[in-house]
Amino acid sequence: MVALNKVAFVDIPFHKKTKSSQFFINLLTERYQDVALINCDAIHAWKEEDYYQNLKVYDTIIFWQIIYPHRSLVERLQDKNIVFCPMFDQVAEWGYIEWYYYNTLKILCFSKTLYDRLKSYNLDCIYIQYFPPPLSRFNYGNRNKAFFWQRKASIDAQMISGLFDENMAIHVHKALDPGEKYVSPNAALTQERLRLSYTTWFKSKEDYLRKIDEAAIYVAPRSLEGIGMSFLEAMGMGKCVVALNRPTMNEYIKSGQNGMLYDRDGVQQLDFSNIREMQQNAFETVKNGYDRFNERLPSMFEFIEEIRHPITPIFELPPFIQQDLYAFRDRLYDLKDNEWFQFGFYGTNKKILFIAKKVLLFFRVLPILKRLRNIMFRKKQV
């Protein structure tokens, strides 16, 4: 066990239910003597001074998925060893401007797509691909059965029906993410094409795994993933995972070899003629990947533990633009204190939130553009 003094692991409350960050918590507690788990919901209710007082006692602070504090708080903690672990599905639309805000932090990536993007911005980051512990053996299951955990309204039984022939029986597990609403498939489609069964939740994890084990096919529930714990677990059970051709699914799955990838536009029936081979390869992918993951752990811990100076970003923004951008970012954080913003953040009013962000962005960027124009105009006059 390494004495890294005091470590704070800051996580979001939803992961208490999904346990998707538990593997990382276990790694930390196995290696370090003093690890405190901090729920960011509790933090969100604190004033900045309270937040600072609670975090300043820790030498290393690891933010999992989301950083809530204002820029001023991050600056006050700049003498601390801070690691940010973003999830690709949360930051997929972030560009250089958003990431510039985090250029002083060490960033641990679980997505190769995200890592490549951040390296192009010259940020201080490392990539490690996670794999769960493998099973000793697996059950092939019924090749005419598919398990589908519906977590998003955008990927439903109606859409995925086009991936299978009429003989496929699909079990739909209706347990959507916060803010998502279930919509029943078209009645005519249900009667003519699909053999559907449903659950809403399971009494235990074992019941859930037994239901998956009955089928040969597992349909990945999201269009984007941070890591992809659910479909990785299914691959480790020897299931043929069917997923959208987007990160992180396409970072693990080679279509037709260890699973199947499809595109949202023009959904077509997939060829499962070699499904048993794909299942075996999926199992081997997780088995071999888990070994590689453990081999990379020393590098990951070295990255976490090393005190590093911030890397200079790919280009330095003028100070006045930095101030405007930071003010804009802080304004967005201020909005999170409003009830409507919190609902939007969790998915209820995403359209309203999106429009509000764009309007606010326009009025924040406009002065910056005017100032740049004035600078350029003065240079021309000279």
- Please give the Cα distance from 275 to 291 (Å, whole number): 25
CB burial of 271-300 (b: ≥16 within 10 Å; e: otherwise) equals ebeebeebbbbbbebbbebbeebeeeeeeb
Q: Give residue 343's pLDDT.
A: 35
pLDDT at 110: 98
Phi-psi region of 220 (alpha: psi -120 to 50; beta: other; left: phi over 0): beta
Residues 6+ apart with CB under 8 A from 266: none
Q: Which residues contact 122 (CB under 8 A, 6 or more apart)?
A: 311, 312, 313, 314
User: Are 237 and 213 contacting, i.e. CB atoms less than 8 angstroms apart?
Assistant: yes
- pLDDT on residue 336: 44
Per-residue pLDDT, 279: 98
**Residue 285 CB-half CA count within 13 A:** 27
**Residue 310 and residue 163: Cα distance in Å, rounded?**
47
Domain ranges of the chain: 142-287, 317-382
Distance set, CA 194 to CA 59, 146, 172, 275 (Å): 55, 11, 11, 20
pLDDT value of position 377: 52
Residue-level pLDDT at 302: 95
The one-letter amino acid code at 38 reads I
What is the model's pTM?
A: 0.80
Angle, CA 231 vertex, CA 241 and CA 301 arms, to 5°: 135
Q: What is the pLDDT of residue 186?
A: 76
pLDDT in tens, the chain (382 residues): 455 679 999 888 878 777 889 999 999 999 999 999 988 765 555 666 777 788 889 999 999 987 655 566 677 787 889 999 999 998 898 888 778 777 888 999 999 999 999 999 889 999 999 999 989 999 999 999 999 999 988 899 888 989 999 889 999 999 888 888 888 877 666 666 668 889 998 889 899 999 999 999 999 999 999 999 999 999 999 999 999 999 999 999 999 999 999 998 878 999 999 999 999 999 999 999 999 999 999 999 999 999 876 555 555 555 555 555 555 555 554 544 443 333 333 333 455 556 655 665 665 565 566 666 565 555 444 4
Alpha carbon 219 to its chain centroid, in Å, reads: 18
CATH for 142-287? 3.40.50.2000
By DSSP bridging, strand 195-199 and strand 215-219 are unpaired
Contact criterion met (CB below 8 Å) for 149 and 175: yes
